[in-house]
Amino acid sequence: MQKITPFLCFDDNAEEAVNYYTSIFKNSKIGTIFRYDEAGAAASGRPKGSLMTASFQLNGREFIALNGGPVFKFTEAVSFVVNCESQEEVDYYWEKLTANGGAESMCGWLKDKFGLSWQIVPTVLNKYLTDKDTKKSQRAMQAMLQMKKIIIADLEKAFNS
């Protein structure tokens, strides 16, 4: 068991979210599911038999989802970074996580259809932004600041120009 586990509170669609996320990420699976019994349903106002919590793994990392009601909302203050080795990988996660009501933001950030924020980041970005040649790294930064989804070829072009 990992030491720290992200715990995500959804309104009433945690089960849909768990199924959605595990369909996107490799090495993912759904773990233990707890459903509201009669007493839990009465205390929470949730339907008996509906999902209370579900543990799941995304790429081998543990998460827990809860149907916690409309009180808790996701904000950009918390996001998950997906480190990508290729443009193909960036494109894949960008397409999957913005589908069906997700929203693009700037500099590789997006919100999925549940309102959860993600950063889809090519691993080469760190190399470009921390290069000892500050003029090169500044050009890469300027290029990135103009992008929504990060395009590696455009970063490389700016870095090397």
Q: Which domain holds residue 38?
A: 1-72
pLDDT tens-digit map of 111-131: 999 999 999 999 999 999 999
Supply the pLDDT for residue 45: 87
State whether 95 and 131 are in the same domain: yes
Q: Angle at Cα 118 formed by Cα 114 and Cα 122, nearest 5°?
A: 150
pLDDT tens-digit map of 61-116: 999 999 988 888 999 999 999 999 999 999 999 999 999 999 999 999 999 999 99
For residue 84, give the CATH number of its domain. 3.10.180.10
Asked which of 14, 42, 72 is the last residue of a domain, the reply is 72
State whether 64 and 80 are in the same domain: no
Asked which of 47, 72, 97 is the last residue of a domain, the reply is 72
Supply the pLDDT for residue 127: 95
State whether 57 and 114 are in the same domain: no
State whether 96 and 147 are in the same domain: yes
